[in-house]
Amino acid sequence: MINMIFLGPPGAGKGTQSAYIIRDYGLVQISTGDLLRQAVKDQTPLGKEAKVYMDAGQLVPDSLIIGLMKDRLASPDCAKGVIFDGFPRTIAQAEALDAMLKNDLKTEITQIISLNVADELLVERAVGRRSCPKDGKVYHIKYNPPKVGGVCDLCGTTLAHRDDDREDTIKNRLKVYHETTSLLKGYYGNSGKFTEVDGEGNPDDVYVKIKRILG
């Protein structure tokens, strides 16, 4: 049973690597960013509140995120094992996750993988990111372009550029990562389950290192 956390700054490749892991290990991916973007699209009360923070590159308040995660973890598919992508991002979220897994699902985190990439590369990765609104497949205009410009290889849908993948917002998200989320390395560092992986090589090479950790 694997329940892993992907730590790492915006654009590090967490979503890209999660797709490989899902394919090979049959886990469920929970991305709080994806859940929030869906809530914004559906114009739910949560989505309306979260959008203000997301557009500014700030963290959405813990109470909203923890409530969102509690609902998501109540779904039976989580019993297959989960990749937590983009969550937790604060110590309060990490503590809440530990408690939810222990009390509600009688399980625990098995691995924490921190994907490390230098800030200069992250800005370029995020600015060039495109994704399919229909199936979520992630592309990059330079590093992983679609076969036909601007449309998804799998379904032909026009690719989207996230509102917050602009240089100024990304710089803010990186600042938030260094000031807040990177503190989680200290929280998990001594757990015996924490590994840092260099995320700067090509995606296949990065995945080889991740597979070694997951076994």
Per CB under 6 A, residues contacting ligand ADP are 8, 10-16, 32-33, 36, 53-54, 57-60, 65, 86-87, 89, 93, 125, 128-129, 138-140, 143-144, 164, 173, 202-203, 206
**The one catalytic residue among 72, 162, 171, 193:** 162
Amino acid in the structure at residue 200:
E
Residues in the chain: 215
Smaller CB separation from ligand ADP, 104 or 198: 198
Is residue 162 flagged as an active site residue?
A: yes
Give the angle 9-93-121 at the CA atoms, nearest 5°: 0
Which CB sits closer to ligand ADP, 109 or 173? 173
Q: Which of the residues 51, 129, 130, 137 is marked catalytic?
A: 129
Distances (CA, A) of 39 to 34, 48, 68: 9, 8, 10
* Distance of alpha carbon 86 from alpha carbon 151, whole angstroms: 26
Pick the catalytic residue from 14, 37, 130, 137.
14
Is 89 annotated as catalytic? yes
- In the complex, the smallest distance separating the C-beta of residue 202 from ligand ADP, rounded to whole angstroms, is 5
Catalytic residue ranges: 14, 89, 129, 162, 173
